[in-house]
Amino acid sequence: MPWAHEAPAPVEQTVELLRTFRGRFDLGQDFVYGVFSSDESEVVGGTGLHPRVGTGAMEIGYWVRASGAGRGFATEVAAALTRVALEFLTLERVEVRVDPANEASLAIPRKLGFVEEGTLRRRLHGPDGTPLQRDAVVFALLRSELPGTPVAEAHVEAFDAAGGRVA
């Protein structure tokens, strides 16, 4: 999350970042979401579908704050976004890229039925935001592989911009 390395940012800068996220969302280019507790009283993380992996595919990114870790938030959002990408956006491929040292994050795509494809060297930002410092384990799920996976059973409610239910 290159944008998070300088947090907390001034309010004006954060508002501009959120406007950028919203604009890209509205254009169907990049989909960034907040992750909240079930009663919506606490921000517990963030997630998104990002177009950084090529045509016909998107990458899911997720983060959960320490107080929310181990409660299934990242697994739930990864499953839902994978269904949205493969069924509603009709993409052919969804990827998740994980730092090999992050055991908790590695467990998520494995639990959801993604296939581990390999490790890319020096693809992730370092802890200080410096690009291309850490390796990335690449997991993928293809649309043809969706049936029978835990992702296929994920509960998804989706609405269009006018609030109409689409799923």
* Ordered domains of the chain (ranges, CATH): 2-150 (3.40.630.30)
pLDDT confidence bin for 60, thresholds 50/70/90:
very high
pLDDT at 56: 94
Q: Give this prediction's pTM.
A: 0.88
**Over 70: is that where the pLDDT of 5 sits?**
no
**Over 60: is that where the pLDDT of 98 sits?**
yes
pLDDT at 115: 98
pLDDT in tens, 114-153: 999 999 999 988 877 788 889 999 999 999 999 999 999 9
Q: Tell me which residue of 50, 11, 15, 46 sits closest to 29, measured CA to CA.
A: 50
**Over 60: is that where the pLDDT of 1 sits?**
no
* CA angle, residues 46, 51, 53, in degrees to nearest 5: 110
Q: At what angle do helices 103-112 and 73-83 cross, to 10 degrees?
A: 40
User: Edge-to-edge strand order for the sheet containing 115-124?
Assistant: 31-36, 43-50, 57-64, 93-98, 134-142, 115-124
Average pLDDT over residues 1-5: 57
